[in-house]
Amino acid sequence: MISVNEARKILAENLTRGGSVEIQVSEAAGYVVYRDIVSPADVPAFDNSAMDGYALAWGKNRESWTVVVEIPAGSAKNFRLSEGEAARIFTGSPMPEGADTVIPQEQIERTGNIIQYTLPGFGTGANVRYKGTQIRTGELMMQRGTLLSAGGVGLLASVGFATVEVFAPPVLSVIVTGSELRTPGEPLTHGAIFDSNSPMLKAALNRLGVRKIYTSRVADNEPELRKNIEKELNKSDVVIISGGISVGDYDFVKTSLAGLGVKELFYKVKQRPGKPIFAGKLENKWVFALPGNPASVLSCFSHYVKPCIRYFMGHNNVWNPDITLPLAEDSIKKKGLTFFMKAYTENGKVHLAEGQQSFNLIAFSKADCFAELPEDVDFVEAGTSVNIYFL
């Protein structure tokens, strides 16, 4: 049995990047840019006004101008101003030829078509956004590996991109095992339980941007399980199996994987919850077999599966905690195991939630993270900074 850090190191040595996919820019937030992007246009594409006001040729010895035209935003006409002339202009309106300055409307006195400006401290070029001042055609706009935010989406749209090439999410299969499982909405007979793992995993995957997810449920039958795993391996980049990975009489996952030629990277980690976790590869395909208890499933997914998927999708630093926070209260734990505790953040501290058992989901009504308590201690004092991984 290996430590959490050893498990992470093994996975880190086997990480692989995915390919690329072209998606709509409007749907690209959260994805990672696949290749360098250069601007196809100057932004702004033309000199334009930064505010509502009057465009004119600034002269220190002139205090009045005659308004000869009004230029709304979006105007396609070209205007030229002569000496002493001004244009009524609006934010985003193209600057007329012969003008080099915009005076805000609230700083102007207007009588008929005559405007006056007498305040000190003004200068040529004020309130004008010049062509190409944001970026010029051919300049590098985004590097490969850039994580697209809503602002990045806006930047791409501002230069005319309708689509963008990003790291493709993996095709993924979720297999839940257990003869006792029923789909939520079905009648629940004595001895049966609802399957919470596949909806939970699908929700977690959707948050990562994974959209193509095959789900299946298999009874505790070794030939059927092996056939199902083989089918899912043939069509997916990542296969996640929940349940059947321990050492009970009806736990057939590990032997099925070995029979299919899946290379074991590790099996069992010194942690709570989720000790009987399996990670393996078949060529470039990932296989993760997680315990069946729901809290164990989500914990193992968050700390091992999620980083591998994020790296596949172009992210870096995938093993780093999201933040560190001081523990709000003392915690006693078993030395020799890393504890991943259901927790919630409040007022700059992390609080451990009630209901830490691996089968217990009630804590997730409030929990927003896992708090990592280190392996080599049996007591963590309040105020100690611990690693936090948001759900």
Phi, then psi, of 286 in degrees rounded to 5: -90, 140
Q: Where are the beta strands (DSSP E) in 124-236?
A: 128-129, 140-142, 163-167, 172-177, 181-182, 193-194, 213-218
Is residue 357 located within the same domain as residue 242? Answer: no
Q: Give the whole-angstrom CA distance, residue 285 versus residue 172.
A: 10
Q: Which residues on neighbouring strands pair with residue 164, listed in sequence order?
A: 23
Q: Residue 178's pLDDT is what? A: 86
**What CATH number does the domain containing 222 carry?**
3.40.980.10
Given a cut of 70, whether residue 249 has pLDDT beyond it is no
The answer to whether 339 and 319 are in contact (CB under 8 A) is: no
> Do residue 95 and residue 142 come from a single domain?
no
pLDDT of residue 117: 87
Mean pLDDT of 202-230: 94
Mean pLDDT of 238-267: 89
Residue 187 lies in a domain: yes
Query: Mean pLDDT, to the nearest integer, of 147-152?
Result: 97
Q: How far apart are CA 70 and CA 284, in angstroms?
A: 63
Beta bridge partners of 181: 193
Give the CATH number of the domain where residue 384 resides.
2.40.340.10
User: What is the per-residue DSSP string for 213-243?
Assistant: EEEEEE-S-HHHHHHHHHHHHTT-SEEEEES
- Domain end: 114, 129, 144, which one? 129
Percentage above 70 pLDDT, the chain: 99
pTM of full prediction above 0.85? yes
Question: Where a domain ends, among 312, 347, 366?
Answer: 312
- Exposed (0-12), middle (13-18) or buried (19+): which is 299, by Cβ within 10 Å? buried
Q: Do 215 and 296 have their domain in common? A: yes
Mean pLDDT calculated for residue range 141-170: 96
Q: Are residues 206 and 264 in the same domain?
A: yes
Sign, CA torsion 153/201/11/345: positive
3-state secondary structure of 153: helix
Inside any domain, residue 210: yes
21 to 247, 277, 295, 390: CA distances (angstroms): 41, 31, 33, 27
pLDDT at 60 over 80: no
Residue 250 pLDDT level (bands cut at 50, 70, 90): low
Mean pLDDT value across residues 185-203: 91
CB half-sphere exposure, 187, CA atoms < 13 A: 2
Based on the fold, state whether residues 215 and 200 are members of the same structural domain: yes
Is 232 within the bounds of a domain?
A: yes
Residue 211 lies in a domain: yes
**Do 304 and 349 fall within a single domain?**
no
Do 178 and 308 share a domain, yes or no?
yes
What integer is the mean pLDDT of 239-268? 89
Residue 232: which domain range?
4-18+169-312
Instruction: Name residue 135's beta-bridge partners.
Output: 43
Instruction: Read off the pLDDT of each residue in 319-333 and give the average, rounded to a whole number.
Output: 97
Closest CA to 363 of 293, 287, 271: 293
Query: What CATH number is attached to the domain comprising 96?
Result: 2.170.190.11
Strand residues in 263-374 grouped as ranges (E) = 263-267, 271-272, 278-282, 285-290, 323-326, 331-332, 338-346, 349-352, 369-373
Residue pLDDT, tens place only, 74-125: 998 889 999 999 999 999 999 999 999 999 999 999 999 999 987 877 788 9
Asked if 143 and 36 count as a contact pair (C-beta separation under 8 A), the reply is yes
Q: How confident is the model at residue 344 (pLDDT cuts 50, 70, 90)?
A: very high
Give domain status of residue 262, yes or no.
yes
Total number of domains in the chain: 4
Pair 294, 163 in one domain: no
* CATH code of the domain in which 141 resides: 3.90.105.10
Judge if 174 and 299 occupy the same domain.
yes
Asked whether residue 260 falls in the same domain as residue 305, the answer is yes
Q: Which of 144, 167, 190 is the last residue of a domain?
A: 167
Write out the H or E segment, with its range, that includes residue 61: none
Segment 299-315 shows an average pLDDT of 98
150 shares its domain with 31: yes
SS3 201: helix
175 and 264 inside one domain? yes
- Segment among 67-71, 290-294, 319-323 with least mean pLDDT: 290-294
Two tokens, residue 188:
């629940």
- Residue 223 located in a structural domain: yes
Is 317 inside any structural domain?
no
The mean pLDDT value for 174-179 works out to 92
